[in-house]
Amino acid sequence: MAKASSAASIPETCAPDAAPASNASSMTAAERRVYSRMADTMSYYHNHFKSTWKTLYTACEKNKRPAGMSIKQYLNTACEFVHHLEMHHSIEERHIFPLLAQRMPVFQREMELLEQHKRIHKGIDALEKYVNACKAGERELRLEEMKDVLDGFREVLWQHLDEEVRNLGADNMKKYWTIQEMERMPM
């Protein structure tokens, strides 16, 4: 994700300029691009997570690693997935959500998106524990067991990835932010 301000409030340069427009559907193509920027950026990262997930999960469903991928590479892919998702959520929770939460209730503490992060992290903690045990030789990689671990947070992860992008979509963002504020958003 792009470098974000560590401030939990709108920087002075992002102070409200005017009331956000109420008619979200009446946007020019240029305005839609500005209002869609956060959703587009988030979608880029989320698509990467989805692609990595599909690699891991498809191997479990087929009970066979992808062609040319060693056990070590497969386990490293799972470790990278965990690390990248944790880092992504950390950036969101520290820099992006507090800013958006000032006007958008869905991004406020204890609301659905943050609750989903908590449930996802239970799953990735279990995945990390399983993968690390395999890497340390404490257990043998069994793809059917790995599938059970992934199934433990599959539904909430995919729901979260889709909902977050939808909440950052142009029509929704225009309900809360002016075009000038969107141009100054940290992402």
Q: What pLDDT score was predicted for residue 111?
A: 72
Please report, in tens digits, the pLDDT of each residue of the chain (187 residues total): 443 443 344 444 344 444 555 554 589 999 999 999 999 999 999 999 999 999 999 999 999 999 999 999 999 999 999 999 999 999 988 999 899 999 998 887 667 777 888 899 999 999 999 999 999 999 999 999 999 999 999 999 999 999 999 999 999 999 999 999 999 998 7
- 147, 81 contact by CB (below 8 A): no
Q: Is residue 97 part of a domain?
A: yes
Q: Is residue 15 part of a domain?
A: no
Q: Is residue 63 part of a domain?
A: yes
Q: Is residue 39 part of a domain?
A: yes
Closest CA to 38 of 13, 2, 73: 2
Could you tell me the residue range of the domain that residue 117 belongs to? 29-183
Q: What pLDDT score was predicted for residue 110?
A: 62
Report, in angstroms and rounded to the nearest whole number, the Rg of the chain calculated over CA atoms. 19
Q: What CA–CA distance (Å, rounded) separates 147 from 149?
A: 5
Q: Is residue 6 part of a domain?
A: no
Q: Is residue 10 part of a domain?
A: no
Q: What CA–CA distance (Å, rounded) separates 95 from 88?
A: 11
Q: What pLDDT score was predicted for residue 81?
A: 98
51 by DSSP, 3-state: which?
helix
Structure-block tokens of residue 46: 């989320």
Question: What's the gap between Cα 59 and its chain centre?
Answer: 23
Q: Is residue 23 part of a domain?
A: no
Q: What pLDDT score was predicted for residue 131?
A: 98
Question: What's the gap between Cα 157 and its chain centre?
Answer: 9
* Total number of domains in the chain: 1
CATH number of the domain to which 37 belongs: 1.20.120
Q: What pLDDT score was predicted for residue 114?
A: 76
Q: Is residue 9 part of a domain?
A: no
Q: What pLDDT score was predicted for residue 187?
A: 78
